Chains A and B, each alone.
Chain A
């Protein structure tokens, strides 16, 4: 099965083409949020370089969130557009799960974190064992400090991955919880990891039509903090 996968959920963007688990090609670009300019050229270049036609792609995959509002929409819209003409199946995967795939080969706890700003992180925790991931929490948005406290109870080693990994790693509370940082190439979301997560989702019947593909926005748990300092009634 040939999968074309994209990730534009944060500062970096990437596109990958895989065939039965083998990476045929992957483009990765980390030059800030310019995905509307870089993603399509990357996909085009990928298809050209690998000599694979769009028509022979069996499954389209994308990180559907959580993540940057603009980035997620660009990724979803791009995949919808590519899959729509021939009504090819699509899979939207959790960005956090895709990142965790980077460490599925290890044995330990994988804590995916993305910077949700204002002291919040998007997070999901997985147990990695025997090349597979077991999900321990749902995708959620929580204060980084709360997550640090929770991390103390998880089995060690506990690896931080995602664009919020370094942010958390540099906090004393995560140091106290014994968190470790994997090598740089394994920290961030990549389209090839999206493809791995998508292959599993496809196998368990979770593919949808291009029209049914939707972004997943997580509401940050800011309820205790008003956006407007004066208007305390706008807590929700």
Chain B
């Protein structure tokens, strides 16, 4: 496991971009951390690193956003997913088999459905308002 400290949204995005270089089709990036921890900022960085040029926003209402990069990028928000039926009906298992990169916000809610080789990123506040502690597990940056 690696630990990183970022002190701005821009730095969190830059870390995401760095992480993207290590991703390949079929990979799942599981994000953990509550509101305002920078999950969407990190996702923006990962998406940019994967060649996505359009804007990235949180899929809170749509549950999943699809982006075209060098590989397809599927951005999930599991905040409202409470049980296996909910998860099944997001198409999550179909996306898993589709050969894109999955980025999953609120992975806390679906922890038992994550593939064993998922890259786990845990984000928490540290010190000042903009400082974040980010741990990355499952890939070496």
Interface residues of chain A, those whose CB is within 8 Å of chain B, are 11, 32-33, 68-71, 117-118, 217, 219-220, 222, 225-231, 234, 236
Contacts and interface: CB of A to CB of B under 8 A. Distances in A.
Given A32-B97, A229-B111, A230-B108, A69 B91 contact: yes
A226 B110 CA distance: 9
Q: Which DSSP category, helix, strand, loop or mixed, fits chain A's interface? A: loop
Contact of A219 (B85, B94, B97, B113): B85
Interface in B69-112: 81-85, 87-89, 91, 93-94, 96-99, 108-112
A222 B108 contact: no
Interface in B101-127: 108-113
A68 B93 CA distance: 8
Given A71-B94, A227-B110, A217 B83 contact: no
A28 to B, nearest CB: 18
Given A227-B109, A228-B110, A229-B112, A220 B97 contact: no
A67 to B, nearest CB: 10
B84 A33 contact: no
A68 B109 contact: no
Contacts of A222: 84
Contacts of B111: 227-230
Number of chain B interface residues as a range: 20 to 34
A69 B93 contact: yes
Given A228-B108, A228-B110, 13 more contacts: A11-B97, A32-B99, A69-B93, A117-B96, A225-B112, A227-B83, A227-B109, A227-B110, A228-B82, A228-B111, A230-B108, A230-B111, A236-B83
Contacts of A228: 82, 108-112
Nearest to B106: A228
A108 B43 CA distance: 52
Contacts of A231: 109
Contacts of B110: 227-228
20 contacts: A32-B98, A32-B99, A33-B94, A68-B93, A69-B88, A69-B89, A69-B93, A117-B96, A117-B113, A118-B112, A217-B88, A219-B84, A219-B85, A222-B84, A227-B81, A227-B83, A227-B87, A227-B113, A228-B111, A228-B112
